[in-house]
Amino acid sequence: MPQEIKDLHTYLRDLEARHPEAMLRIKRPISLRYELTALQKKLEDLKKYPVIVAERPLKVDGSPSEHPVVVNLTASRYLVAEAIGIDPRRVALEYSGKTAARVAPVVVAKQEAPVKQVVVKGEAVDLLRLPIPLHQELDPGPYVAAGYVVTCDPETGVDNSALQRLWVKSKNRAGYFPASTSHAMANLAKWWNRGEDMPIAVWIGHHPAALGGGQVKLGYPESHWPAMGGALGQPLRLVPTETFGEKLMVPADAEIVIEGYVPREVYEAEGPFGEYTGYAGAQRPSPVVEVTCVTHRRDAIFHDFGVGLADMLVLGMFPLEARVYQIVKQLVPELVNVHFPLSGHRFHAYLQLSKTRPGIGKDAILAALPCDSRLKHVIAVDDDIDVFNEAEVLWAVATRTQWDKDLVVIPGASIFPLDPSAPYPGTFGTKGGIDATCPPPLDLGMPRQFQATNKVPDEVAGRVRVEDYVDEGSLAKFPGSF
Ligand SMILES: Cc1cc2nc3c(=O)[nH]c(=O)nc-3n(C[C@H](O)[C@H](O)[C@H](O)COP(=O)(O)O)c2cc1C
């Protein structure tokens, strides 16, 4: 039997069958003018990350949308890991194995491509018909936040997919922000240097594994399609665009595609934009997209990211954890695990070490810092500390460090320009780390040289069970603390 095609529709159907408790279907109208983001934020404050499908959203102008909107598709570490087929506590160790696989894409005819069920061209194009949300108070307008921008290198023809935002300014014009470090920007520079406008296509909505494969940082120029196929475990189906034919392909099973040109040397103000950092990023001159065509499924679901929330952070953290693990492990084999916590918004990493030699806490910090410009602070802890439990990591910092010895401060390092604390002009600043590991044992097999931690005897801990003393209802109602 042929394998079922994996896309956003099949993912949501399967998720609902497997984990009905993980989905929140909102059947009453909810406005895309801040309301959906507000709900996501309130749930995030409660540490709840259901996949949310707004079935009857109201567009920012107050009119009902023809299409539902899905958010929080990639907010839960559990669900994203499950979609890729890895353990959520072993992302650093297992993610690369999944996404390193390459499966060549296949090209299908237009009639077989769901994303071509509706084709709107030229004057009839109207982006404002799409349910594009307004996220944060200072945003200048609605943003396509979960669009993958396809461009190609004009010299080799090799395509690139990059998750990059579009500010929808009118029915056929959008602001576009390609970071200077992105491969999309390298392509743009080449097109413009040749004196040509750059062809562009933006696809929205697919299976979370495909989204993960599309986020993998590759060499340049290198197509993301085989990495998406590898993550999906099946060939990605592609279809030529209406505007550029086979020169620019898009996923046939995406929900929506926006095609157009980035006109040569046209810059307009873009932003401020509520960034992943949690702050409103600066307004800056940026290119624009002039839209030539929109295609979509008849029953298209609009995928959006709750910007600055876990929804967009988790997807980007997986490759970061994997990259830091791979690089640091080569230099410090005692590395056990890596976690980029949500609280750090990609600026923080916790490294777990099985410490057998003095100095490896610092070695690991020094090896990790240059792995990504967004990584600014690294905390190294021992393997009795759970790197997924921030209270334990901070307990290690509180009780195992003396900062005259354990603090690493590296001024003048390359840092990410969107860091709100970055000194002008924003590309270099201070990185650092805290070595919160204990001194190692004097010799292999000996206990470490540090005070013993509190614990009741193992035999007693194994014997005393909460459920023997407390019923479930009372347990749920007991007061918490912080
Ligand atoms: C939700 C989300 C939104 C992003 N938005 C942008 C963006 O607007 N512009 C940008 O250049 N990078 C953005 N990024 C980062 C890029 O997707 C990332 O740097 C990517 O690796 C660039 O790919 P490329 O180098 O293949 O072009 C975003 C990342 C995420 C997870």
* Residue ranges covered by each domain of the chain: 8-310, 332-444
The CB density around residue 250, as the number of other CB atoms within 10 Å, is 27
Asked whether the predicted pLDDT for residue 330 surpasses 70, the reply is: yes
pTM of the complete model? 0.94
Instruction: Check: CB of residue 205 under 8 Å from CB of residue 162.
Output: no
Tokens 């392909």 appear where?
A: 249
Task: List pocket residues of ligand 1, CB cut-off 6 Å.
Answer: 160, 162-165, 177-179, 182-184, 217, 305, 312, 315-316
Name, in order, each residue with C-beta under 8 angstroms of 402's C-beta and a sequence gap of 6 or more.
none
Q: Which helix (H) or strand (E) holds 77?
A: helix 77-84
pLDDT at 57: 98
Runs of H (alpha helix) within 381-471: 390-400, 403-406, 458-463
Task: Tell me the CA–centroid distance for residue 416 and ligand 1, in Å.
Answer: 13
Mutation choice for ligand 1 from 164, 203, 307, CB with most ligand atoms inside 8 A: 164
Angle (nearest 5°) at CA 52 between 46 and 53: 160
Scored b (16 or more CB within 10 A) or e, 312-341 reads: bbbbbbbbbbbbbbbbbbeebebbbbbbbb
Q: Which helix (H) or strand (E) holds 430?
A: strand 428-435
Pick the more confident residue, 427 or 396: 396
The atom number, within ligand 1, closest to the CA of 179 reads: 11
pLDDT at 118: 98
The span from the CA of 309 to the CA of 324, in Å, is: 22
Residue 349 DSSP one-character state: E
The span from the CA of 135 to the CA of 205, in Å, is: 18
CATH code of the domain made up of 332-444: 3.40.1670.10
Average pLDDT over residues 45-67: 97
Poorest-confidence range of 307-311, 342-346, 474-478?
Answer: 307-311
Backbone φ/ψ region at 233: left (φ over 0), alpha (ψ -120 to 50), beta: left
CATH code of the domain made up of 8-310: 2.30.110.10
Task: Tell me the CA–centroid distance for residue 296 and ligand 1, in Å.
Answer: 23
The span from the CA of 95 to the CA of 328, in Å, is: 15
Task: Tell me the CA–centroid distance for residue 223 and ligand 1, in Å.
Answer: 15
Closest residue CA from atom 21 of ligand 1 = 217
Q: What is the biggest distance separating any 2 CA atoms in the chain, rounded to whole angstroms?
A: 76
Tokens 């929330």 appear where?
A: 309
> Is the bond preceding 425 in cis, omega lying within 30 degrees of 0?
yes
Closest residue CA from atom 4 of ligand 1 = 164
Of all residues in the chain, what percent carry a pLDDT higher than 90? 87
The atom number, within ligand 1, closest to the CA of 184 reads: 27
Q: What is the bridge-based pairing of β-strands 428-435 and 377-382?
A: parallel
Task: Tell me the CA–centroid distance for residue 183 and ligand 1, in Å.
Answer: 10
